Amino acid sequence: MTVNPTDHRYLQVARTLRKEIVDGVYPVGSQLPTEQQLCERFEVSRYTVREALRRLRDDNLVASRPRAGTLVVPRPAANSYAQDVMSINDLLAFAAGAQLVIESNAMVTVDDELAARTGLAPGSQWLAVRGHRQADANSAPVCVAEYYINRAFAAIGRLLQRHSDPIFPLIEDLFGVSIVEVHQEISAIVASQDVADALQIEHGSAALQMRRAYKTSDGEIAQVTINTHPSSRYRHTMTMRRIKGQAAP
């Protein structure tokens, strides 16, 4: 097991077991070793093992049943994750409506400018995937799309050549993790020359930039995306309801 000294032991155990499940060491329907066997294998306490198994349950990889132990279960085709405004499935529906056209795909080291745009740590390395989304080959781009993928999941880069769908489900399927939270920020910007050319708008036009950070059940950022839309081609709607007993701000 690869040990990261900054990680809790239960995260190390969970990652090792998660990889073994994804790799087929423990296929669907099989039983994981008992808590006692896992304690002995990893030389950890029963509490650590139980926390690791809880992480695997959070990722929908296993189910613990009385007198049956911990079983590897099929991952559901679609999960519903509640957010303050929308669900993660809504992001899938939005992205499915406009195909991703990838223009570049390479590892980058985050400099100060990129750190300010993405919120990522300067000096860290991420897989940068850049391109645009459009409804069809004859229509103007819907947005300029940038993806920054955690180095731990960068192996998916080799699968993206013909990939036009959302990327984070690939991370979930290939690495056995679950995206449990997406933090979104929307900012108004002035389109740079490069962005204006890509979006087929005038340099200096108003644009909306949407940044999303996707977190796993381990609390890690799996992916940061930046989508830049022409203001005339983007509309964000939401419905708010008053909660009984609370005054409006």
Express as a percent the part of the chain with pLDDT over 90. Answer: 51
**Residue 176 region by backbone torsions, left for phi larger than 0, else alpha for psi between -120 and 50, else beta:** left
pLDDT value for 139: 81
Contact 131, 160 (CB under 8 A): no
Task: Name the more confident of 91 and 31.
Answer: 31
State residue 97's pLDDT score: 59
- One-letter identity of residue 204: G
Per-residue model confidence (pLDDT) at position 246 = 53
pLDDT at 79 over 50: no
Rg (Cα) of the chain, in Å, rounded?
A: 21
Whether the pTM exceeds 0.95: the reply is no
Look at residue 245 in the predicted model and tell me its pLDDT. Answer: 57
pLDDT at 56 over 50: yes
- Mean of the pLDDT values across residues 173-190? 91
**pLDDT tens, residue by residue, 190-199:** 999 999 999 9
Query: pLDDT-derived band of residue 52, with 50, 70 and 90 as boundaries?
Result: very high
Burial class (CB in 10 A: 0-12, 13-18, 19+), 222: buried
Question: What digits encode the pLDDT tens for the residues 204-213?
Answer: 999 999 999 9
Tens-digit pLDDT profile for residues 137-175: 788 888 899 999 999 999 999 888 777 778 888 899 889
Domains of the chain: 9-72 (1.10.10.10), 88-233 (3.40.1410.10)
Whether 72 and 32 have beta carbons less than 8 Å apart is answered as yes
Q: Is 99 exposed, middle or buried (0-12, 13-18, 19+ CB in 10 A)?
A: middle
Q: What percent of the chain has pLDDT over 70?
A: 84
